[in-house]
């Protein structure tokens, strides 16, 4: 067989054990919190029909989807004429499926298909990769994991408070400092009314959403370029909207209650924010300190109908490491309207980068395997295998070096694999039924029987 050059597709990655262990640490913390909060796991297939995905992510999404070529003879029954007129014309003839682009649309599809098996309100979590043919760059990959938790089938504001709590507890468990930004779609609607451009709500917020990147001057300029009256920018600047600390919550709400006194949707949004805010301390006494109002937060407006959430890392300048919100009509896309949902999403790859940059991965992750047993010789092998079996039966990750190589080489293997304990049974240990044990981090040596060895490992863990 011809030798092939080993290569990886652009924007994709192999994960070697060291990185995998760190990723598993993140996923385990996220998943155990999802479970503790009563969320149940689901999974959907990597491939979805284009009839399900198309048009759900805007034009950009349709561009960036990875499409699957139809199986077998994909040109069978296709006339050559169908293959002209540009690739967009050809596409429907040769591809019916694409790779999952996010977890939300497949979840909505699943809920509608299985609506009679599902017990609403349905709390589900889902941790799976998604694929986007984005231009790869630092921190942006073509395959990456999303971790989503959603509750569907209830419009209770308890859920907003509970999901903010869930966010906070996950990031606390990961030892990360975060600021959770909170807004409400109804505030954005009210702002567009207040500024006299209710018909331009979408353009207004799409541009406003870029505030972080282009600053207020850039936002006003972009509004002007869209043909908004100049008064809009001025009036907006005069509103002096800032992300506020928890100490300013009341003042901000009070100020806008006056401004929105004639705008019912605005008052409704403020009232929802107050309810959520007042629930927070009942979930976690100090939680309000980590939540800020931000009336400029928009995030995919056309999708959210109530609360809008975003999580910013305070450990590094990494932008958003999570986002979510309330949506009232997601399953309506698939013919089941009127089911309100509230969800959050965590970007595992970006969280990884934040923890790495902040140097906050726990030390213990480097040692996956606890014990290496030396292959000394064939006479002592049976006794060594007996130790191996007892270590494993005690739940300790252990291995024997498979070849009878020089002992120095075997120790070197343990050091490279970050295995802390090395055990050896030589001829004299065989007669005394002990092990010669070396603890590599300190170099200390011991002579132990098996039960002592096991208990020392468990103590050190």
Is residue 129 near a copy of itself by the rule CB under 8 A?
A: yes
- Closest separation in Å from C-beta 421 to a copy of itself: 12
Q: Which of residues 61-90 bind a copy of itself (CB under 8 A)?
A: 63-64, 66-69, 71-76, 80, 83-84, 86-87, 90
Q: Are β-strands 291-293 and 178-184 bridged in parallel, bridged antiparallel, or unpaired?
A: parallel
Is residue 367 near a copy of itself by the rule CB under 8 A?
A: no
- Closest separation in Å from C-beta 179 to a copy of itself: 22
- Closest separation in Å from C-beta 150 to a copy of itself: 13
Is residue 41 near a copy of itself by the rule CB under 8 A?
A: yes
Closest to a copy of itself by CB, 271 or 284:
284
Tell me how far apart the alpha carbons of residues 439 and 455 are, in angstroms, rounded to a whole number.
14
Crossing angle for the helix pair 264-283 and 249-259, nearest 10 degrees?
A: 160
- Closest separation in Å from C-beta 380 to a copy of itself: 12
Closest to a copy of itself by CB, 159 or 220:
159
Written in H, E and C, the secondary structure of 268-304 is HHHHHHHHHHHHHHHHCCCHHHHEEECCCCCCCCCCC
Binder among 27, 52, 212, 245 for a copy of itself (CB under 8 A): 52
Is residue 16 near a copy of itself by the rule CB under 8 A?
A: yes
Is residue 338 near a copy of itself by the rule CB under 8 A?
A: no
Output phi, psi for 442, to 5 deg: -110, -15
The SS3 assignment for 118 reads coil
- Closest separation in Å from C-beta 141 to a copy of itself: 9
Binder among 1, 225, 258, 444 for a copy of itself (CB under 8 A): 1
Is residue 286 near a copy of itself by the rule CB under 8 A?
A: no
Tell me how far apart the alpha carbons of residues 23 and 349 are, in angstroms, rounded to a whole number.
8
Applying CB under 8 A, which part among 236-244, 259-267, 387-395, 439-447 lies near a copy of itself?
387-395
User: Are 246 and 292 within 8 A, CB to CB?
Assistant: yes
Binder among 25, 27, 93, 413 for a copy of itself (CB under 8 A): 413
Quickly list DSSP for 332-369.
GGGT--S--EEEEEEEHHHHHHHHHHTT-S-GGGG-S-
Beta bridge partners of 421: 371, 439
Is residue 196 near a copy of itself by the rule CB under 8 A?
A: no
Binder among 25, 27, 93, 334 for a copy of itself (CB under 8 A): 334
For 167, 220, 244, 245, 354, the CA distances from 289, given in Å and listed in that order, are: 14, 31, 11, 7, 21
Is residue 117 near a copy of itself by the rule CB under 8 A?
A: yes
* 395 conformational bin, left if phi > 0, alpha if psi -120 to 50, beta if neither: left
Binder among 180, 232, 263, 396 for a copy of itself (CB under 8 A): 396
Tell me how far apart the alpha carbons of residues 374 and 395 are, in angstroms, rounded to a whole number.
19
Q: Which of residues 96-115 bind a copy of itself (CB under 8 A)?
A: 96-97, 99, 109-110, 112-114
Q: Please, what sign has the CA dihedral across residues 19, 20, 23, 29?
A: negative
Closest to a copy of itself by CB, 48 or 328:
48
- Closest separation in Å from C-beta 261 to a copy of itself: 26
């Amino acid at each position: 067989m011809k030798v092939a050059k080993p290569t990886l597709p652009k924007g994709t990655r192999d994960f070697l054990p060291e990185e995998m262990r760190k990723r598993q640490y993140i996923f385990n913390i996220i998943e155990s919190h999802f479970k503790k909060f009563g969320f149940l796991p689901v999974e959907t297939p990597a491939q979805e029909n284009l009839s399900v995905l198309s048009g759900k992510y805007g034009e950009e999404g349709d561009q960036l989807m990875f499409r699957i070529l139809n199986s077998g003879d994909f040109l069978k029954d296709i006339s050559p004429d169908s293959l002209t007129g540009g690739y967009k014309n050809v596409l429907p003839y040769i591809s019916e499926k694409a790779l999952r682009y996010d977890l939300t649309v497949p979840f909505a599809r699943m809920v509608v298909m299985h609506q009679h098996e599902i017990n609403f309100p349905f709390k589900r979590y889902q941790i799976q990769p998604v694929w986007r043919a984005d231009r790869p760059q630092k921190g942006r990959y073509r395959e990456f994991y999303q971790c989503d938790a959603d509750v569907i089938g209830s419009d209770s504001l308890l859920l907003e408070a509970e999901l903010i709590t869930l966010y906070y507890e996950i990031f606390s468990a990961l030892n990360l400092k975060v600021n959770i930004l909170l807004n409400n779609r109804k505030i954005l609607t009210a702002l567009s009314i207040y500024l006299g451009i209710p018909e331009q709500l979408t353009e207004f917020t799409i541009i406003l959403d870029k505030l972080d990147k282009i600053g207020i001057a850039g936002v006003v300029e972009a509004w002007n370029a869209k043909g908004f009256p100049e008064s809009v920018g001025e009036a907006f600047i005069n509103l002096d909207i800032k992300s506020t600390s928890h100490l300013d919550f009341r003042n901000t709400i009070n100020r806008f209650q006056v401004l929105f006194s004639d705008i019912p949707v605005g008052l409704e949004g403020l009232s929802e924010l107050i309810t959520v805010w007042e629930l927070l301390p009942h979930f976690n006494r100090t939680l309000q300190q980590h939540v800020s109002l931000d009336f400029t937060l928009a995030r995919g407006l056309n999708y959210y109908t109530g609360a809008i959430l975003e999580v910013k890392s305070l450990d590094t300048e990494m932008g958003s490491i999570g986002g979510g919100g309330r949506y009232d009509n997601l399953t309506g896309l698939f013919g089941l309207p009127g089911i309100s949902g509230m969800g959050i999403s965590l970007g595992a790859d970006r969280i990884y980068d934040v923890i790495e940059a902040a140097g906050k991965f726990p030390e213990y992750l480097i040692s996956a395997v606890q014990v290496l047993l030396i292959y000394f010789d064939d006479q002592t092998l049976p006794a060594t295998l007996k130790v191996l079996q007892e270590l494993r039966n005690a739940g300790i990750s252990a291995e024997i070096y498979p070849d009878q190589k020089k002992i120095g080489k075997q120790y070197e293997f343990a050091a490279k694999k970050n295995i802390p304990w090395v055990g050896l049974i030589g001829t004299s240990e065989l007669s005394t039924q002990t092990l010669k044990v070396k603890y590599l981090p300190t170099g200390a040596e011991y002579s132990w029987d098996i039960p002592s060895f096991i208990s020392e490992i468990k103590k050190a863990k």
